[in-house]
Amino acid sequence: MEYIGTQYRITIDMREQLNKLAYQCLKDFQSYHNCHLSNLKEEKALYQWFLLQSKVLSKKCRKIEKAKEFICPDGMQSQLDGFEKAVRTGQDLIRYMSRNVLDVDLEDKMFSDWRFLHFHLSNPYSLHPVDKRFLKRSECLLIAYVDYLDDSTVYFLQIVPHIKDTWTNDNLIRILVDNWPIMMKKYVFEGSLTATIKGKDRSLLRENNINSAVDLGDGRVVIGPGLGVTGIGASTAAELKSMNLGNRVQFIEMSIGENVDTVGELIHWKLQNEQTAYRLKLEKLLNAHTACFQVEGTPAYLGVNHNQFIVADNMEDAIRELALNR
């Protein structure tokens, strides 16, 4: 959008540039994890970034809590020990996951609904025969939950067979609610459903992008902690994060738009040129009110914090001067 003052004109589109910034974050993710993300789309990059961030746990040390029902099947203790070590020591867990996790345009319907992650419990030296970034697929899966607001703990629910029925197994929700009732309180309501939804029915609903609650049969109904999907099958949680950030950073664009001549004069004074029209490119977003832009075609950088503006020779100086002047 172009903002016009009495002396200067400034062009900026925060929503478009957020997508460009998110697109670069996705490419940086590929380099950091030495992997390839499928179906990257710049126009959807902000949504795809939040979707990827929710599905893939960052490299950091985490605690483990196990449900009281959790049992390790015979012959799998060494594989479980290896995975637990990876979780506790902050190793890259992508290799234990589905190969589809790197497709940023593909929804994991069980994850979107219940926020359950599934991990292949394989020997850490047994690699997938086609894709060496992943371990060999296993006959059993570890089903785990990581909270939406706090990912410092991985909650182990069960080790289950790698079969289709696992994706709609309501008992996993019961285990989650019964073992961690305080954490799950916001998703549990008193009552019952007029129809019982099980197995194939839930799978069919998911295929048609219809969200459904889980009736535990004891007067409790559970809303999926993954928040479900939208009518077009997109993750509701990722869409909400994308929309929320987009709406919040509009304040930065509005701040620039309401102070066009002030910003223009600062840039003009720094560059000492005859320009009266400038285009801003988002380089770094620090929070919903603070960002740094490059003045395109020039060596100048604009730092913005609410209605405070700093023009500097580089991004680091602009950010530092904003911090000093708060």
* Cβ partners under 8 Å of residue 130, min gap 6: none
Whether 190 has a pLDDT exceeding 70, the answer reads yes
Rounded distance, CA 200 to CA 162, Å? 16
Residue 235 pLDDT:
93
- Percent of the chain at pLDDT > 90 equals 72
Question: Which residues, in sequence order, are bridge partners of residue 280?
Answer: 295
Mean pLDDT of 99-128: 89
Residue 178 pLDDT:
97
CB hemisphere CA count around 47 (13 angstroms): 19
Mean pLDDT of 95-113: 91
* Cβ partners under 8 Å of residue 113, min gap 6: 206, 211, 212, 224, 226, 228, 229
DSSP E strand boundaries for the chain: 2-4, 9-11, 63-66, 116-120, 140-145, 153-161, 188-190, 214-215, 220-222, 277-287, 290-295, 301-305, 308-312
Whether 64 has a pLDDT exceeding 90, the answer reads yes
Mean pLDDT of 54-69: 94
**Contact status, residue 46 vs residue 20, Cβ threshold 8 Å:** no
DSSP E strand boundaries for 134-257: 140-145, 153-161, 188-190, 214-215, 220-222
Q: pTM of the predicted model, to two decimals?
A: 0.86
* Cβ partners under 8 Å of residue 266, min gap 6: 302, 309, 310, 311
Residue 149 pLDDT:
85
Whether 43 has a pLDDT exceeding 70, the answer reads yes
Mean pLDDT of 2-22: 91
Residues in the chain: 326
What are the boundaries of each domain within the chain?
2-14+249-324, 35-227
Distances (CA, A) of 254 to 2, 93, 303: 11, 41, 14
Token representation of residue 264: 């223009």
**Contact status, residue 214 vs residue 224, Cβ threshold 8 Å:** yes
Residue 326 pLDDT:
63
**Rg from Cα positions in the chain:** 24
Token representation of residue 78: 């060494």
Whether 125 has a pLDDT exceeding 80, the answer reads no
Burial of 42 (0-12, 13-18, 19+ CB in 10 A): middle
The model's pLDDT over 83-94, given as tens digits with 9 standing for 90+, comes to: 999 999 999 999
The model's pLDDT over 285-321, given as tens digits with 9 standing for 90+, comes to: 888 788 999 999 999 999 999 889 999 999 999 988 8
